[in-house]
Each structure stands twice: as structure tokens, then as C-alpha cells.
Structure 1
Amino acid sequence: MFNMVKIGRNIARLRKEKGMTQMELADRMGISYQAVSNWERGETMPDISKLPELADIFEVSIDQILDNQKGADIVQNIAQNKTTEFLRENEVSVEDFSAVMPLLKTEQADEVFSHMKHKFKLHDLSVIAPFVSTEFIDECARKAAASEGIGAIKELAPFMSDEAIDEFAKKALETEGIEALKFIAPFMTDEAVDECAKKAFENEGIGALTSIAPFMSEEAMDEIAEKAFENEGIGALTPLAPFMRDKTMDECAKKAFETHGIRVLLPVAPFISDEVLEACARQAFEKEGMGALKPIAPFLEEGVIEKWIRAGLEFSS
């Protein structure tokens, strides 16, 4: 990579040798003096389009500004629109290309990459992904997913288009199952996550959704949870309980308690609101006595049972 601090020092030295102030250099280049100041402090680098102009003002080569022969050659030829010719006549490595990437505009990076993409291995692509176009990344991701599965594109996912991500996710669901989506679920659209979740629920059951549950919409979560509850009871909600809305969990808990009693709530007790859990426990205590509360007691607020016991003793007397 280019050493920005060293380049900044070169710019400062060359400017001083020309007897120019930062403001004078900035005015001549049509930029702010803060930009020149940032260059010289090594905080930023000149845009590639500014390098030929900077070299002309200082009457030096781009090599002397960048202090990096190989990288400077690449940059200079790109700046002079000689990219194709230079790449045809010179051997440029992945490392060389990666080093100059931060200086290039997206269209320039695409041009270089189009000549060199046969050299890049999958793990190299994550380095250059922030600099080339989404179209190129999508193209590379398609090839990787086709040969190695969707897990191969997890490092490229942040730079891919929504359309490509959703496309790959739906294909992977069919061929690899919902678990394969856990690497790219954060980058999928909400609609695609919900669609895949509903299909996986139909085919594999609610337990298969754990890996993508954090990325599902509340509406889809409620819909699936309510179906699972109707078909299998409240115990089926355990895998999704941490991600469900309190209101939905409470409604299911109240229905389950009315039908099956307090013990059925044990698997999801940590996710039921204190208010609803206490109300169910109170009814169980009044109907069945203290023994009914033993399974659920650890999840009740401290002091609640003691309060009921005292109330019961006073009533008995």
C-alpha cells in the first residue's frame, strides 16, 4: 500500500522547493487549502486525476510524488488513460492492483479489474470489493456460489446488490436449506428473509428458523408463531421465543394456560411478561394450591408467592 505519511512529506517538500504556500497550491489546482493540508499531514491522498497536474506544477514525475515505482507506474498510466496498453505490456500482480485501489474511481477500478479478474482468487476479492462496481462483485459472486455454495460469498455480501443477494438466498434455500442463509441474512431484504422463513417453516418446521429469526419482520414472526402454536402448542415456540413480540407471546401463553394449565408454560416462561405470568400463576394457586406453582416459581417476581401465602392464611383464619 502507499505510505500516505511519506507521500504527504514529499508533497510538502516539493511545494516548499517551489516557494509556494498551501493556499497558493490550492488556488492553482482549484481545490481548498484544507485538502492540501490533509495531503501533507498524511490524512488523505490526492485524487488520481490530480496527480498529473500536481506533477506538472512541481515539475517532477508522479513516481517522485508517490515514492513507489511499481504503484506509481500503474497510477500514472491510468491517469493518462493508458490502462489497457499498460496492462498488456506489463505484468501487474494482485498485490500491485490492491495497493493502488484506494486512489481509483470506480470506473477506473472496473477497467483494471476487467483485465485482471482471471488472476483473482475468491479471498482476494474482499480486498478490492469496496472499490469496484456492484456489477463486477455480483458477477464474481455468482461464479463463486455456483462452484462452492452460498457460504463462499459471505465476505462479498456487504458489497453486492440487493437483487443478487436475494436471488442467491432463494436458490440456496432450495438446494442447501435455511441454515445456509445465516451468513448472508443480514444483507438480504426484509421481504426475502420473510419469504424464505415462511418456506422453511412449511418444509422444516419452526426449529429451522433459529439462524435467521433475528432478521425476520415482526409481522412474519407473529404469523409463523401463531401457526406453530395452533398446530403444536406453546412448547413449539421455544426456538423463536427470544425474538417474538411480548404481546404475541403473552396471548399464546394465556390461551395455553386456559387449556392445559400452568405447567405447559415452563418452556417459554422466561419470555412471558411478568404481568401475564403472575396472573396465570395466581389462578393456578387459587385452583390447585401451592404445589401447582413449583415448576414456575423461579420465574415469578420475588415475594409474590409469599404474598399469596399470607393472603391465603388470613383467608383461612
Structure 2
Amino acid sequence: MLNSQLIGSYISKLRKEKDWTQVELAEKLNVSHQAVSKWEKGDSIPDVGTLIVLANEFDISVDDILNGGKEKKRFTNVGTIVHNIVNEETDKAAEVINQEETGIDELISIAPVLKSRSIGSITKNLDDKKLSISHIVQLAPFLDEENLEELFHKLHADDAYSVKDVVRLAPFIKSETLTKLLMEKRDTLTIEDISRMGPFIGDEINDFILELDIESVRWNFITGLAPFVNLEVLKTLVDKALMDEISFDKVVAIAPFLDQGTTDELALNLRNQEGKMHHLTALAPFVSKGVLAEIAKSIPLDSHSLISIAPFLSSEELERLMEEADFKEVSPQTITALAPFLSQEGLIKLLSKMTH
């Protein structure tokens, strides 16, 4: 990839040799002085059109700028590609690569400053033999779905791709294409692979997981997959979870996607762990009243804590927790907040502790 720090330092050196201010250089290039400042700090790189104007201003080549003025040049004839792109002659830019005057790696390096349409037009005209799966994976963030899929089809049958390649491509290709690729690699898929592609697979993710021969599953994979699988699959994963890894944070993360019975079972496994009030509050809507009261025993409660979970408890459980908390004094605000959830007898007891 382009070294923005090196390029920025070189632009700064060239400007100072001319004794120009950033404002003066900006005026010559018809850009803002903030843009020049960002280049010189390495925060951004000039676009392809500006690179040509910049090279002309300093009477150097685009390759010189991209190489940061170094004598040992990494980029050769990239400037030719840049000129062709600006002139909308992407077929000629592709020919530069096909003739091996420069390589696809150089195209990949300047991809961040090229428009997706330009890259797509160039890749369409590349010789099939020039492409590898590595090239496609690296170009994927800069191509639209249609061009990326077309590029993938140009691969030779003997240019094998791995599941790792598919994982890297997943955010950039259509769900249908991703599913097709995974079907071809289903024998080598792991739960880790699927968890990394969860947001991109679609409904087929459930079938892929159910076909896996899983003995145990780490919790980080379960929490990552929970939003994207159905209840049956999620419960299957939970059944195979490594229970020595269970924690309040992990159960809270998947509770919104589970049924109450399963969440109750998981929550009860946490009774001997030290939880915090925010864990109890987060679990409250997803566990039964009895289980909520049970796990509340392991967490220090104050009046604010009880108010937050009161809507999810029975009056009996709430009053029992209040007795165990043994409040010496209770504010009128606390009584007002708890009153709707207490029995008449429980409210009377609470009133007896009201502060004045």
C-alpha cells in the first residue's frame, strides 16, 4: 500500500524548497490549505487528478511522488496508469499491467486513491492469467459487488481459494455468492470461520452450523453468532458451550436471542459468580421472576437496585429481597417507586422505615 507518511513528508520537502506556504501550494492546486496540511501530516493522499497537477507543479513524475522521492523506487510506471485513469482510458491502464510494465500489486497499492468504477474498468480488461485469489482479496474493499464477482469468475480453476480467502471476501460479496463459495468449502468449515462471517451469510448460516461436527464451542463464538442464527441453532451451540467460560457478560449478550427457559438455566449457573447490578438489570427482562430473585441473592442490593428490577419480580420476591437487604431507612422517593409492586402489607412495612 501507499505510504502516506512518506508521501506527505516528500510533498512538504518539495513545497519548502520552493519557499511556498501551504496556502500558496493549495491555491496552485485548487484545493484547500487544510487538504495540503493533511497530506503533509500523512493523514491523507492527493487524489489521482491532483497527483498529476502536483507532479507538474514540481516538475517531477507521479511515480516520484508515490515513491516519496526515494531513489530505490517501489512504484514504476504507476504514473502511466494514473494518467490513463484521469483521461478515462482504463483499457490502456490495463494494457500497462498486461504488458508487465507494472504489476497488479502496484494497482492494489494505489487502489485507495482510485474510484471503484476505475478499478472495475481496469480489472475487466486484465488478462485472466494475471489474476490470483490474493489479488482479488486485496482489491475487494475497493470494488463493487458486481465487479468483484466478475473478477472472481476470471480465476482459473486451478487457482484454488481457501476458507480463509472466503472469510476475507465475505464483507464485500453478495450473500448468494458467499453461500455458493461456502458450499464448495463446507467440508473444511469450522465454527470459528462461520462466526467471522455471521453478518454476511444470511439464513443459510443455520444449515452450515447444524452440519458441523461440534464437540464444544467457545463462548466468544456463541456471542458473536447469536444475532444471526435461529433459536434452534443457538440452543444447540449453548448445549455445547464450554461452561467453565460462562460469565454474566456472556449470558447478558445472548439473552435477548434465547427463550426464557434456556436463559434461566444459564443464569442459575452464575449463582456462585460475583455479578454487578448492571448484570442483574440487563438480565431482568429475559429470566423468570424466581430465577431473577435467586441470582439477586449473589449481588449487593440497594434501593436503586431494587427499583430497577422491581417490575420483573413478584411482590413476594421483592419483599423478601427487601427484608434481606435490611434497609434501616427508606426515602419517600424509593417508596413511591416501589409501591406499585408491593403488597399492602409490604408497603406498610416499607412506610415504617421512611425517612422524614
Category of TM-score, reference length = shorter chain? 0.5 to 0.7
Whether the aligned pair in 1 keeps the contact of 2:45 and 2:113 (CA below 8 Å) is yes
Matched with 2:140 is: 129
Which of 264, 269, 280 in structure 2 is aligned with 1:271?
269
Deviations 1:4-52 (A, max 9, x none): 3443344234334544321122234332212102222333221112122
State the Cα deviation string for residues 46-79 of structure 1 (Å, max 9, x = none): 1112122223433444344334443333323323
Hey, what's the Cα distance between the residues in 2 that align with 1:159 and 1:277?
43
Partner of 2:85: 78
* Mapped pair 1:48 → 2:55: no
Are 1:98 and 1:127, in contact at CA under 8 Å, matched by a contact in 2?
Answer: yes
CA distance in 2, matches of 1:85, 1:219: 47
Distance 2:234 2:6 in 1: 59
**Aligned residue for 1:98?**
108
What amino acid maps onto 1:25 in structure 2?
A: L
Alignment match of 2:167 (pick from 154, 159, 175): 154
Match of 2:7 in 1: 7
Contact in 2 for aligned 1:101/1:131 (Cα 8 Å): yes
1:112 equivalenced with 2:122 (yes/no): yes
Structure-1 separation of matches of 2:161 and 2:3: 38
Residues 142 and 209 (structure 1), Cα distance of their counterparts in 2 relative to 1, 3 Å cut: farther
Letter of the structure 2 residue corresponding to residue 197 of structure 1: N
Worse overlay, 180-189 or 33-42: 180-189
The gaps in structure 1 that reach 5 residues or longer are 229-235, 254-267, 280-317
Give how far 1:190 is off. 8.0
Q: CA deviation at 1:156?
A: 1.5
User: For the structure 1 residues 213 and 61, does the alpha-carbon distance in structure 2 shift closer, same or farther, using more than 3 Å as the test?
Assistant: closer
1:174-253 equivalent positions in 2, closer than 5 A: 176=186, 179=189, 182-189=192-199, 192-193=202-203, 196-197=205-206, 201=210, 210=217, 213-214=222-223, 215-217=225-227, 220-221=230-231, 225=235, 238-239=239-240, 245=255, 247-249=260-262
Return closer, same or farther for 1:273/1:249 CA change in 2, 3 Å cut-off. farther
State how far apart, in whole Å, the 1-side matches of 2:201 and 2:143 are. 27
**What are the within-5 Å matches in structure 2 for residues 287-302 of structure 1?**
none
Higher helix share: 1
Q: What amino acid sits opposite 1:248 in the alignment?
A: G
Q: Which runs of 5+ in 2 are unaligned?
A: 70-74, 273-289, 295-356
Q: Matches of 2:34 and 2:119 in 1, distance apart? A: 27
CA contact (8 A) 1:190 1:217 kept: no
Say whether the 8 Å CA contact 2:190–2:212 is kept in structure 1.
Answer: no
Would the aligned equivalents of 2:55 and 2:65 in 1 still touch at CA under 8 Å? Answer: yes
What residue in structure 2 maps to residue 287 of structure 1? none
Change (3 A) 1:221 1:108: same
Could you say what the CA RMSD is over the residues aligned between the two structures, in angstroms?
4.3
TM superposition score normalised by structure 2: 0.54
Q: 1:19 to 1:31 in 2, by over 3 A?
A: same
Query: When the two structures are aligned, how many residues end up with a matched partner?
Result: 249
Match of 1:289 in 2: none
